[in-house]
Amino acid sequence: MGSDDGGRDVLISLDGMRSHLPLLALTTTLIACTSAPSPLTDAGVVGGDASEGGLVAVTTLGPVRGAVEEGIPHFFGLPYAAPPVGALRWRAPAPAQAWTATRDATRKAAACPQPEGLFLAGSEASEDCLFLNVWRPPLSTAGRSPVMVFIHGGGFNSGTGNDEQFDGAGLAGRGVMVVTFNYRLAQLGFVAHTAFMAEDTAHHTSGNYGIMDQQAVLRWVRDNAAAFGGDPGNVTLFGESAGGISVCANLVSPGAAGLFHRAITQSGPCSFTITPLRDESARAPVQSAVSQGRLFAQALGCDAAPDVAACLRSRSVEEVLAAAPRPTELERFGARYQPIVDGYVVPEPPWTALRAGRFHRVPFITGSNQDEGTVFTRNLEIPDEAAFRAAVGLLVPDHVDEVLRLYPLSAFPGALAAYTAFAGDAAFGCASRAQARLVAATGTPAYQYYFSRLNPGGRVLRLGVYHSSEIAYVFGRFTGLLVRADADDAVAQAMGSAWVRFAGTGDPNAPGSSTWPAFTAANDTYLEFGDTIRTATGLRRERCDALEAWIDPP
């Protein structure tokens, strides 16, 4: 939220996820063929060698050969835009070049570059990274299938749609087409500079390249879903963490209008801060994306170049990602590499837009996990009440006593646990509840969930039901330490089925059932996915009623 809501800004930093907090508002960014596509056919029908196996689909760019695994066809490494390299770096995504020979689509392509040391899930990285992956239902599936497009998280600085935990086969087996993809990250995806703005003579903006990539994917889906048995008129956009924040950005972006028809944010509510493109009255050395870009150009020795844009584009990927200011420096001043309120791609902060009803009014699911804060506070030292008070005072100095009343140390195993619960509620749980209220107030169907299932394998992490732990249950992919016991299988079946039903109809309930009522301010309802799956009301009501007043002041 911007300071137009009144009051000064303070800052919370939780292990790389950060936000502005206006005095009474607590939110956290913790963190070229032109012919119509042909239906999917077997290889022999479209002229391929049937002995090679696999399946061929004809996209608007050319034919692609996928593979079938356990009855689920998939197509990997499909380009949705031209490589954003050379003169195309720091520009809106350009159309990909068409091809004529059948393209192999059995292997995932490179992930997008990201700062050294961040998790790449085994993928190689390349600046030529604008690729997507498709899973479709079994060939026996009749009619056009709903499409689910997933945006990965990673704080806009890391991650890839290639990650095995996002494997779409399980959801596709339930009758939907699933798309995952890469989008530009960090400095390559979200740096703004006046030199780039001068190149954009139509809109005079820069910086939201990662969001524009996401919209290029949605346009690809519009133009090509039918080639894979999908329905371009029934697209669900869903994402986790930064992916959920991305959904919010697209909810208010004119460029995404009509490209998706349902939305799901998993632990990524729309209250998360978006950097302003300009803020000429900034009180800190780094505040706006443009001022951030100036420091970035200085770090690369390009600030005094005759052609700043050309100089920046001449630098290697390694130099770009190593250039200061890095996110940890920027966060001290309230800016980081993330989506930007530029008046064009993202015209206003999503929370402001939701409050005013200015968003694409599509059916909506939003929710959070039981222990959202643990990932972000695990390295903090808050040993006692005095430290707890000091930490809270940095965030909401006028509400320290109220926070201590709502989160008494006697209710937690220690001061760090109390602070973690407060931060997780403020950033995710209570913000998601407030978001459901804002959406529902416009008459748009909104559903709230709460995820509380502690995976037996995840216990060794000692992070509880941590941020992102619901992903395994949505996709049905239990990787790493996670195990799939009978109880976990039941939750995964319930979540996966609900997400697919919602994608199909805008209602996550089974026909004739209403176990998950739509949220209203009056019923304050949610569905809990935990050791039991139950409908309940008033999620952390006393705490959230207080915190929501700071998130969304009257």
The widest CA-to-CA distance across the chain, in whole angstroms, is: 73
- Residue 374, pLDDT score: 96
Is the residue at 289 inside a domain?
Answer: no
According to DSSP, residue 479 is labeled -
Helices (H), 315-384: 317-322, 327-331, 350-356, 374-377
According to DSSP, residue 178 is labeled E
State pLDDT tens for residues 282-316.
555 557 899 889 989 999 999 999 999 999 999 99
- Residue 434, pLDDT score: 96
State pLDDT tens for residues 99-151.
999 999 999 999 999 986 555 545 689 999 999 999 999 998 889 999 999 99
Cβ–Cβ < 8 Å for 450, 365: no
State pLDDT tens for residues 506-547.
999 998 877 999 999 999 999 999 999 999 999 999 999 999
* Total domain count, the chain: 2
Is the residue at 245 inside a domain?
Answer: no
Give exposure, 267-303, as e/b (b: 16+ Cβ within 10 Å).
bbbbbbbbbbbbbeebeeebbbbbbbbbbbbebbebb
pLDDT at 403 over 70: yes
> Measuring CA to CA, which residue among 417, 422, 366, 369 is closest to residue 543?
422
Name the one residue in this structure whose structure tokens are 């879903």.
225
Is the residue at 302 inside a domain?
Answer: no
Name the one residue in this structure whose structure tokens are 């346009």.
219
Q: Which of 21-30, 195-204, 434-443 has the lowest mean pLDDT?
A: 21-30
> Measuring CA to CA, which residue among 370, 341, 357 is closest to residue 428?
370
pLDDT at 41 over 50: no
Is the residue at 141 inside a domain?
Answer: yes
**N- to C-terminal Cα distance for the chain?**
14
Percent of the chain past pLDDT 90, that is, above it, reads: 77
- Indicate the pLDDT class of residue 281, thresholds 50, 70 and 90: low
At 507, phi and psi to the nearest 5?
-135, 120
Is the residue at 3 inside a domain?
Answer: no
Is the residue at 21 inside a domain?
Answer: no
Joined together, the tokens standing for residue 65 give 């050969």
- Boundary of a domain, candidates 240, 258, 289: 240
Q: How many CB atoms lie within 10 A of CB 86?
A: 9
- Boundary of a domain, candidates 240, 255, 276: 240
Per the prediction, the chain carries an average pLDDT of 87
- Residue 274, pLDDT score: 79
Give the list of residues 6+ apart from residue 421 with CB closer than 8 angstroms, or none: 373, 407, 412
Q: What is the C-alpha separation between 538 and 407, in angstroms, rounded?
A: 17
- Residue 117, pLDDT score: 56
Q: Which of 24-28, 67-71, 159-163, 527-531 has the lowest mean pLDDT?
A: 24-28
> Which residues are the active-site residues?
241, 372, 467
Hey, what long-range contacts does 354-357 have (CB within 8 A, 24 or more apart)?
Answer: 354/251, 354/252, 354/270, 354/435, 354/438, 354/439, 355/438, 355/552, 357/441, 357/442
- The residue among 364 and 54 whose pLDDT is bigger is 364
- Residue 267, pLDDT score: 97
- Boundary of a domain, candidates 240, 270, 302: 240
Residues 69 and 214 in one domain: yes
Cβ–Cβ < 8 Å for 29, 17: yes
Helices (H), 396-484: 400-406, 415-424, 430-441, 471-475
- Residue 393, pLDDT score: 92
Mean per-residue pLDDT, 4-26:
29
- Sign for the CA dihedral angle at 510, 514, 519, 524 comes to negative
For 240, how many CA atoms within 13 A lie in the half-sphere containing its CB? 23
Give the number of residues written for the chain. 554
Q: How far is CA 543 from the centre of its chain?
A: 26
Name the one residue in this structure whose structure tokens are 């039918």.
226
- Residue 43, pLDDT score: 34
**Overall pTM > 0.85:** yes
Name the residue range of residue 469's domain.
374-551
Residues 397 and 545 in one domain: yes
State pLDDT tens for residues 211-257.
999 999 999 999 999 999 999 999 999 999 999 999 999 999 999 99
pLDDT at 160 over 90: yes
pLDDT at 397 over 50: yes
- The residue among 17 and 273 whose pLDDT is bigger is 273
pLDDT at 12 over 80: no
State pLDDT tens for residues 359-385.
999 999 999 999 999 999 999 999 999
Helices (H), 77-208: 169-172, 186-190, 194-199
Is the residue at 359 inside a domain?
Answer: no
**CATH number, residue 180:** 3.40.50.1820
Is the residue at 279 inside a domain?
Answer: no
